[in-house]
A = this chain, B = another copy of it.
Amino acid sequence: MARIVQKFGGTSVGDVERIRNVARKVEAEVRAGHQVAVVVSAMAGETNKLVKFCTEINPIYDAGEYDAVVASGEQVTAGLLAIALQTIGIPARSWQGWQLPMRTDGTHGKARILGVETRDILRSMDSGEVAVVAGFQGMAESGRVTTLGRGGSDTSAVALAAALKADRCDIYTDVDGVYTTDPRIVSKARKLSRITYEEMLELASVGAKVLQTRSVEVAMKHRVRVQVLSSFAKESGSSLPGTLVVDEDENVEQLLVSGIAYSRDEAKITLVQVADRPGVAAGIFGPLADSAINVDMIVQNVSADGKATDLTFTVGKADMERALKLLGAAKAEFGYQRLISDDNVVKVSVIGVGMRSHAGVAQRMFKTLADKGINIQVISTSEIKVSVLIAEEYAELALRALHTAFGLDQA
């Protein structure tokens, strides 16, 4: 008997019929003798609807109340899946974040998991019940509901798998694995049978929407065996093999670059002629952090005259308006000349653990883009990733060119 955590995303539980389909996938593992906990997202579209209610009332809503509102979506799905399982003879009960509890910090809207209490859920599972857990949500020390940020159900699942010492964490999604790049754009994209935690982390962080970034961090930290699978694959008991996220020494493929990712969820903001003195950057990014606005790429050049410089950074598209309002309100304080914003941008990233030991990846990337006449607006790099911000209209062209340039095209 193995202990398995299964996670189903919003598309997989998008309507009653799909919830029944998920129940059958859970049933297959139960009938195989396994102990199963299932983590579910809200039905597709529900979270967006709830977020819209909040922003309609106030674009700068209170994050604590936002959490109370949007966490309701997962709660609904968990209850419905429990009913669907009971209907086919599988004992089951739903668990909300506060009922476990899934303990988080108090960063409403983007809370981090501090720990998962497993006493009650294990007692239920040991008694033969499938545990259906509402993903995306937790409870802060204050007793208030928190949410983990978009895609947070992945993190719920991996954290639960770690806490339950599960043998496997199967993430069911609407794709059947992790690809070298988006197959809807690059027809020659290949599915990877294995990928390292580190590469998956970089892919997730630049918008390959297969797994939420933090879920991969948690998986890496606790060495949770994560498998990405399609919830729509035809099956007779078992699903088609997806992609297994593994330790580097388990990864046999060892490519220089394993994937090209992109994210359209980027907006660029430039503060023109901001004072070049200590504390200014902290003064600017502090209020953004307080409002739970994630800042991604940041570029500040050395100032020519030692007095003022241009500061450019990117935020999520949905956060741009709020960020501009916050910065506009503090204009006097920071003494910048004007604000420029642009959300017609896309971030393209080349990722691979192999690039740690091979120079020249960045150079090959820049040359490939230059050959196609694509201007690079912002660059950022990490140990196993090079990212560039380009005009959105070049997204597909850039992806295809890079996929070919790094030898990823299917034979």
- Name A's B-contacting residues (CB within 8 A): 16, 19-20, 50, 53-54, 56-58, 61-62, 64-69, 71-73, 75-76, 78-80, 82-84, 86-87, 93-94, 96, 98-99, 120, 143-145
Contact = CB atoms under 8 A, between A and B. Distances in A.
Contact of A145 (B50, B83, B96): B96
Interface centre among A20, A64, A80, A99 (most CB of B within 10 A): A80
A83 B98 contact: no
Nearest to A143: B99
Given A64-B93, A143-B99, A19 B57 contact: yes
A66 B154 CA distance: 25
Contact of A86 (B62, B72, B144): B62
A20 to B, nearest CB: 7
- List the 10 shortest-distance A-B pairs measured between CB atoms, nearest first: A69-B79, A72-B72, A68-B79, A65-B79, A58-B87, A65-B82, A16-B56, A65-B83, A57-B83, A61-B83
B54 A80 contact: yes
A62 B129 CA distance: 14
Contact of A69 (B56, B66, B75, B87): B75
Contacts of A58: 83-84, 86-87
Contacts of A54: 79-80, 83
A50 B96 CA distance: 17
A57 B84 contact: yes
A57 B22 CA distance: 12
Given A16-B53, A143-B99, A78 B68 contact: yes
A57 B20 contact: yes
Nearest to A86: B62
Contacts of A50: 76
A362 B95 CA distance: 52
22 contacts: A16-B56, A16-B57, A53-B76, A57-B80, A57-B83, A57-B87, A62-B83, A65-B79, A65-B82, A65-B86, A65-B93, A65-B94, A68-B78, A68-B82, A68-B94, A69-B76, A69-B83, A71-B75, A72-B73, A75-B75, A99-B143, A120-B143
A113 to B, nearest CB: 20
Contacts of A78: 68
Contacts of A84: 57-58
Contacts of A62: 82-83, 86
Given A19-B57, A20-B57, A69-B79, 15 more contacts: A53-B76, A54-B80, A61-B83, A62-B82, A66-B79, A66-B83, A68-B94, A68-B96, A69-B80, A69-B83, A71-B75, A72-B73, A72-B75, A75-B75, A98-B98
Nearest to A69: B79
Contacts of A143: 99, 120
Given A16-B56, A80-B53, A99-B143, A75 B68 contact: yes
A65 B93 CA distance: 7
A354 to B, nearest CB: 47
A100 to B, nearest CB: 10
